Structure 1
């Protein structure tokens, strides 16, 4: 009898261990190749590493050199311009598209995947497509000339003063549909009875959105901010495919700076220091967000 009782218990224990055993190899690989290499990069940022890793400890010297480099200053300034415009326009366009689709229009089932389609593409594909489109020799400007608009000029991608805005255009085009999906989910989650009560009290559409709908979209705004901010900080492949960081250094961002100093200039220590700064920037965005989410769940 005792043996018969213990068999189901053992079987239950084995069944409870199976998911953990199945996930263990993946968890071990993540710990090694993600968090392990993050710690290794942090360590390299305090060493005299150049073309190969070195273990000669030099403290904060790499960080001191990094903040004295004009190239790094240019990359940070470009990131500020790019991130501000990218986040603002993606949020605004995504919100407008969501409000448009929330009107229960005909063809919503067709329009929604069209708006979301760019997010299905890689940033390399997006950058390459927009590079062709914006190239004055083969793209929009050339096409307008063929149609008879000889005075039309749109050579931003070749202009140092405007090249960063072409990166903004391509990035906004790719992610606005994703932001729209977040806002649309938020709009569809608002209690319709509240809106009907407000309309019965005489609230017009402007006041309805300003006082009721937009305040209830706060979680969607916060999520959009966090996602867009971290995408902006780590932007690399889009810039490389679209402008290559040029002309000159007009579109260089911290991610392209990190790659060039690590693998092209053989300054691995400085490249690691720039990667750590990027990591700290993303952490400064993510940690408060996660803390607020966990605190709200506990409450």
Structure 2
């Protein structure tokens, strides 16, 4: 059943990308025509540019914040359990809920902007959500808020797995705590960095629900991503073949990230 529902429909989507399917599937083979139309569509390039902005900032900021939070909790502070729960909580909710909540917070009419005005700061302005040049960065804010705690958990697990003898040797050599983290512990976290990158990149490439909940792709097409492009092309513009082609490109991109990672993990496991 899994083979049919997952891999079967992947193959079906791949086949549709080589047909002239519109509102309903058709089986008229047109070769690479849909891919030519895809790469000639300016909206596809807008989607790719937005993915580059969102994905780059989302991965880098989530990784940085997650690492800092993990280092904080690694000091075994008294309220570690409570802080860990608070940091991890956003990952327990869906991107739809996250997008809706941040849409309210960043809405100039009822969120942060209105709050500052009510407090007397009338010159304050934060209209990124309705600014076509800045709207994509609101998606970054919401995405980072949701995923940083998960990245933190990955790094914390890695930090807790560092051999204590290494840390004791560093302390004997007179290394300070910042030096120990910078020169010893963080370099040992390379596999965790790779895992965090793979997971974050996967979430960024297939970002759809967060964008739809916050901006619905707007203003205009300023926050379109490849997933939004695929949905809109298939179900709004009734170009199923073109939507299938964009889906295949997304799948190929995700596979290009995940397959080498899985290969390296399996090869490392065999060596062990």
Query: TM-score, normalised on structure 1?
Result: 0.90
Paired position in structure 2 for 1:289: 261
| 1:179 equivalent among 151, 154, 159 | 151
Question: What secondary structure, in the 3-state scheme, does the structure 1 residue paired with 2:207 have?
Answer: coil
**CA root-mean-square deviation:** 0.6
Question: What secondary structure, in the 3-state scheme, does the structure 1 residue paired with 2:257 have?
Answer: helix
Highest relative contact order (Cα 8 Å, sep 6+), 1 or 2?
2
1:106-145 correspondence to structure 2 within 5 Å: 106-145=78-117
1:31 deviates by 1.1
| 1:149 equivalent among 121, 124, 128 | 121
Q: Are 1:229 and 2:201 counterparts?
A: yes
1:242-285 per-residue CA deviation (whole Å, 9 max, x = no partner) reads 00000011100000000000010000000000000000000000
1:154 deviates by 0.5
Number of aligned residue pairs: 271
Worse-matched range after superposition: 191-200 or 223-232:
191-200
| 2:13 equivalent among 2, 24, 41 | 41
Query: In structure 1, what is the Cα distance between the partners aligned to 2:84 and 2:183?
Result: 27
Query: In structure 1, what is the Cα distance between the partners aligned to 2:36 and 2:124?
Result: 47
Paired position in structure 1 for 2:211: 239
- What runs of 5+ residues in structure 1 fail to find an aligned partner? 1-27
Paired position in structure 1 for 2:249: 277
Paired position in structure 1 for 2:28: 56
Paired position in structure 1 for 2:61: 89
Structure index of larger Rg: 1
1:202-217 correspondence to structure 2 within 5 Å: 202-217=174-189
| 2:221 equivalent among 235, 244, 249 | 249
Query: In structure 2, what is the Cα distance between the partners aligned to 1:205 and 1:288?
Result: 35
1:192 deviates by 1.1
Query: In structure 1, what is the Cα distance between the partners aligned to 2:60 and 2:94?
Result: 22
Query: TM-score, normalised on structure 2?
Result: 0.99
1:229-248 per-residue CA deviation (whole Å, 9 max, x = no partner) reads 00000000000000000001
